[in-house]
Structure 1
Amino acid sequence: MFGLLTPCAHGAHKYGIDPSEWHAQMCGLCVGLGAGHGSLARTATNTDAMLLNALTEAQFAGPAARTGVGPCALRGMRRAEVAAADSPGVRLAATASLLLGAAKIRDHVDDADTASLLRRPMATVSGQWWRRARAQAASIDLDVEPLVAAIAAQGALERTSGLTLDELTEPAQRCAAEFFAHTAVLAGRADNVEPLRTAGRHFGRIAHLADAVEDLDDDIAHGRYNPLVATGTDLDAAYEQLLESEAALREAIATTDLDTAPTVRWMLLDPLSSLLTGMGRDLGLVNHHPYDSHRAPRKPTLIEGIGLLLGQYPTGYACFADHTRPCSGRRKRAWRKRLDCCDCADCCCDCS
């Protein structure tokens, strides 16, 4: 997974947020990566790193810095007001994006799951992004070397037998913890540093475990490493750990009062809940949305049942969300095998 979180436009309206704030955050990060590190670096843009700027802005007392940008194909060739590329939050998000991107490219090279002719140029790009991440981190007084070392140690951890699942997810926990904590440093909120470090640690754990659950079948089929297999953890136990981390993350965020910040609820807490609920449904552990627990699970219609028997869901509709566009809140066609309308908290309650 390269970005777990996708906010829903329904949630934006609920919290009084203009849904275009999604593009303000994403485009600001993309522009910041392109301006500081070249156009190729824009491909490192991801939704989880965008959250770092949102967290930073939510802790500032004044209005968020915005700047005008020209037309872009991903915005339908429209101009927009986006997060300022030189703002501290965007620079922190760019640092995280480059580190995540470099590590992901390096993993593909090391796993030899790309064409042999591409491995050398990919390794070159990975090395460039490591160096650029260090330079970007220095501009915001973030000591990134422990994070680089933690990422580099992941391979050695995976080759060590007898480790627990928590030990295997330690690098992801440490990186996310320091990035979350540094949002408080940039905002001058020293009282928020430790709670956000705790929240980040659990976010990193969720990201690693969710990736392991998502990739389990594929990793087994191709003989690739998976921490669940390595530790003998079944899916039920993994999902319980995900829920435990979500609860701990929410508790930590609540101590900072950021749980009442509309953008934090919209970009972190609600999407995280939706992610885990959707995963629980896929695993057969959840049959309805937790925010709609008073309703019985909806029974499929005859046509939907026929669609399921055919191995498709041709008559179903679902909220569509991808890397460039948040969920619009409208029911759109999707080839799904499950009988829920979408993964976002609001749609599941209203559009059945």
Structure 2
Amino acid sequence: MFGYVKPWLPELRVREEATYRALYCGLCRTMKKTVGRLSTLSLSYDFVFFLICRLRAAGQIPQATRRRCIAHPFRRRPTVDAGEIGRLAARISALLTYDQLRDDLRDRGTRKRLRARFLLPIFRHARRRANLPDLDAEFRRCLDSLDSLEREGNPSADAAAETFGALLGAAFSYGLDGADATILFEIGRHVGRFVYLADAAEDYGDDRRKGNYNPLVIAHGGRDMTPDEKNALHTALLLELTGLERAVALLPPKRDDLSEITDNILYIGLPRRIAYLKTVSEERNSGDVPEGETI
């Protein structure tokens, strides 16, 4: 995905940071085994968050073991094998990356298109190994809806964000039922809405120059947003974060490393990302940042 949903490491305690790194390393190993070695090119912080949420919902406590890998051949590093939940994260990541690369082929920027052409055969194979046809069909339904919004030139960022939110809601809740399915769907939905809006804000200048679809650009007629419009977008991101906080609060309340990492992401990591988008936007208006860098 996009790498937005991550903790602010300086505020994690040593043990919590070690747990987070062990989850990240464990997911990397699981992706290699489950959907292919090169699938780790798509390894992202967002799917570590997926892993944490699913582990918390299942009441599982991760246990780390020390292992070597190609990236760290001389020193064993703590690694968490999250079992079936880790394998599910790897498989869903492969599906999402494949669909994202297909979308990048339509991007008007040369670099993204070249990257997509190079990686698409790799992730076509990873998608086959993922073998989740029902979830794949749901992803295609959501992405077809996004394509329709793009073809129409629809200026509603809310409509596009809700569609992407439904996609990630389906991903986060896949294979669950009852209350767990409802909670994880809402977590995924708010993550998806946040990621879509944040990405549209961050790519505002590039999309305006290249003519890529961005509902924010269309809604504002391709011009710079006014301070009031930027504040409205800032508020929309904060509202998605509030919705995410409420959904995560419904997970089992046990205080452990996973819940502390989650709190760091919600109350430090994501707010810092929102502040970054707002700060860079203001600096650009003052001339400190090149025109078109972000909103």
Scaled by the length of structure 1, the TM-score of the pair is: 0.68
**Residue 162 of structure 2 corresponds to which residue in structure 1?**
170
* Residue correspondences, number: 276
Displacement of 1:255 after TM fit? Answer: 3.0
Paired residue type of 1:253: V
Say whether the 8 Å CA contact 2:7–2:261 is kept in structure 1: no
Matches within 5 A, 1:102-121: 102-111=98-107, 113-114=109-110, 120-121=117-118
**Residue 271 of structure 1 corresponds to which residue in structure 2?**
269
Higher Rg: 1
1:81 aligns to what SS in structure 2?
strand
**Comparing both structures, which one devotes a greater share of its residues to helix?**
2
C-alpha distance after superposition, 1:88-138 (max 9, x if no partner): 2212221232123212221222225347877654443343333233x1x47
| Inter-CA distance 49–107: structure 2 relative to 1 (3 Å threshold) | same
1:212 aligns to what SS in structure 2?
helix
**Residue 293 of structure 2 corresponds to which residue in structure 1?**
none
C-alpha distance after superposition, 1:268-287 (max 9, x if no partner): 443122211222322349xx
C-alpha distance after superposition, 1:201-244 (max 9, x if no partner): 11101100100110101111222221201233843322221111
Say whether the 8 Å CA contact 1:52–1:180 is kept in structure 2: yes
Give, in whole Å, the separation in 2 of the partners of 1:201 and 1:119: 26
C-alpha distance after superposition, 1:23-80 (max 9, x if no partner): 211111111111122221110101101111111222333432444421443x584212
| Inter-CA distance 9–112: structure 2 relative to 1 (3 Å threshold) | closer
**Residue 25 of structure 1 corresponds to which residue in structure 2?**
23
2:68 aligns to what SS in structure 1?
strand
**Residue 239 of structure 1 corresponds to which residue in structure 2?**
234
Paired residue type of 2:92: A
**Residue 193 of structure 2 corresponds to which residue in structure 1?**
205
Give, in whole Å, the separation in 2 of the partners of 1:166 and 1:34: 36
The counterpart of 2:203, out of the listed 207, 215, 231, is: 215
| Inter-CA distance 264–130: structure 2 relative to 1 (3 Å threshold) | same
| Inter-CA distance 119–44: structure 2 relative to 1 (3 Å threshold) | closer
1:20 aligns to what SS in structure 2?
helix
**Residue 122 of structure 2 corresponds to which residue in structure 1?**
125
Consecutive unaligned residues in structure 2, runs of 5 or more = 290-295
Say whether the 8 Å CA contact 2:157–2:216 is kept in structure 1: yes
1:2 aligns to what SS in structure 2?
coil
Paired residue type of 1:55: C
Say whether the 8 Å CA contact 1:258–1:264 is kept in structure 2: no
Give, in whole Å, the separation in 1 of the partners of 2:154 and 2:41: 37
| Inter-CA distance 275–120: structure 2 relative to 1 (3 Å threshold) | closer
**Residue 97 of structure 2 corresponds to which residue in structure 1?**
101
Displacement of 1:249 after TM fit? Answer: 1.4
**Residue 334 of structure 1 corresponds to which residue in structure 2?**
none
Say whether the 8 Å CA contact 2:35–2:94 is kept in structure 1: no
2:76 aligns to what SS in structure 1?
strand
Paired residue type of 1:103: D
Consecutive unaligned residues in structure 1, runs of 5 or more = 286-307, 313-352
Say whether the 8 Å CA contact 2:34–2:90 is kept in structure 1: no
2:79 aligns to what SS in structure 1?
strand
The counterpart of 1:150, out of the listed 139, 142, 145, is: 142
Paired residue type of 2:125: Q
Matches within 5 A, 1:253-268: 253-258=248-253, 261-268=259-266
**Residue 11 of structure 2 corresponds to which residue in structure 1?**
11
